[in-house]
């Protein structure tokens, strides 16, 4: 019940296309869902986060869609660029615990 | 980078030797974490701390111990390193509900 399942494991997208990464969770008590971006040799960096009281959050080309009833959330990268090539992790957290459960990551490659 | 440094950044050691990794933060954050990152497993929590001398286990704590004698430092010790502990280790701090990660330590156990 503590797992966060992330798919796909890897993704190749053409420049200008839309990249979509999906995550699913079991624990309905989770109430904070961040996405992290990691470049090779670097630590993960927060990209965008959402709470379950909204169904969508957009920051620039990055959008989180949240489906509370399905217990799923996804990251959409619009107009994908080669500079977006990185590994992306979703996570889930329960307020007050300060602990995350991470998905297994998606390696995104955007072709020029 | 939220003022987080990790040392060493790279280490090669032999099976059975003790290893200590250091995480240092400059902003007095209460919560600190140690994760390991392995292909196909994402980031897995080893131990975390919620204050000086206050620590708790994560999901993969076997073979690891931690200490936090000062707010700014969180040490991860492998008492007797094994090849299965070859990994990239990340320290993180929590600022409100967001975690910020250090640059990582790449550890190779031969």
What is the pLDDT at residue A96?
A: 80
What is the pLDDT at residue A72?
A: 96
pLDDT tens profile B15-44:
999 999 999 999 999 999 999 999 888 999
Q: Pick the residue from chain A with its C-alpha nearest to B94.
A: A98
CB A100 to CB B45 under 8 A? yes
Q: How far apart are CA A26 and CA A102, in angstroms?
A: 13
Chain B residues touching residue A49 (CB < 8 angstroms): 97-98
Q: How far apart are CA B47 and CA B37, in angstroms?
A: 14
pLDDT for A24 beyond 70: yes
Enumerate residues 6+ apart whose C-beta is below 8 A from B47: B33, B34, B55, B56, B57, B58, B61, B64, B65, B66, B76
Q: How confident is the model at residue A95 (pLDDT cuts 50, 70, 90)?
A: confident
What is the pLDDT at residue B84?
A: 97
Label each residue of chain B as H, E or C: CCCEEEECCEEEECCCCCEEEEEEECCCCCCEEEEEEECCCEEEEEEEEEECCEEEECCCCCCEEEEEEECCEEEEEECCCCHHHCEEEEEEEEECCEEEECCCEEEEEC
Give the tokens for residue A20.
């979509």
Average pLDDT over residues A27-40: 94
pLDDT tens profile A12-22:
999 999 999 99
Average pLDDT over residues B61-68: 97
Chain B residues touching residue A45 (CB < 8 angstroms): 100-101
pLDDT for B7 beyond 70: yes
What is the pLDDT at residue A1?
A: 59
CB A98 to CB B94 under 8 A? yes
Write b or e for each residue in A75-97: b if 16 or more Cβ atoms lie within 10 A of its Cβ, otherwise e.
Answer: bbbeebeeebbbbbbbbbbbeee
Average pLDDT over residues A42-61: 95
What is the pLDDT at residue B1?
A: 56
Q: What is the mean pLDDT of chain A?
A: 95
Let me know: does A88 contact A46? Beta carbons within 8 Å: no
DSSP character for A84? G
Chain B residues touching residue A10 (CB < 8 angstroms): none
What does residue A86 show for φ and ψ, rounded to 5 degrees? -175, 180
Cα of B58 to nearest chain A Cα, Å: 9
What is the pLDDT at residue B40?
A: 85
What is the pLDDT at residue B2?
A: 66
């Amino acid at each position: 019940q503590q797992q966060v399942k992330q798919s796909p494991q890897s993704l190749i997208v053409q420049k200008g296309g839309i990249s979509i990464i999906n995550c699913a969770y079991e624990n309905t008590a989770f109430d904070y869902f961040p996405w992290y971006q990691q470049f090779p040799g670097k630590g993960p960096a927060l990209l965008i986060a959402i709470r379950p009281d909204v169904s969508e959050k957009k920051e620039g080309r990055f959008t989180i869609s949240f489906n509370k009833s399905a217990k799923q959330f996804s990251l959409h990268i619009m107009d994908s660029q080669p500079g977006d090539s990185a590994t992306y992790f979703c996570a889930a957290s329960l307020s007050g615990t300060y602990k995350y459960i991470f998905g297994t990551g998606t390696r995104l490659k955007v072709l020029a | 980078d939220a003022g987080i440094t990790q040392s060493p950044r790279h280490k090669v050691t032999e099976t059975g030797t003790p290893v200590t990794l250091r995480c240092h933060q400059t902003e007095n954050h209460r919560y600190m974490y140690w994760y390991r990152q392995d292909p196909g497993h994402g980031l897995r929590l080893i131990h975390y701390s919620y204050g000086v001398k206050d620590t708790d286990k994560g999901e993969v704590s076997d073979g690891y111990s931690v200490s936090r004698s000062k707010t700014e430092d969180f040490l991860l010790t492998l008492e007797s390193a094994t090849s299965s502990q070859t990994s990239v280790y990340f320290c993180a701090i929590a600022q409100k509900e967001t975690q910020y990660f250090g640059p990582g330590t790449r550890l190779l156990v031969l």
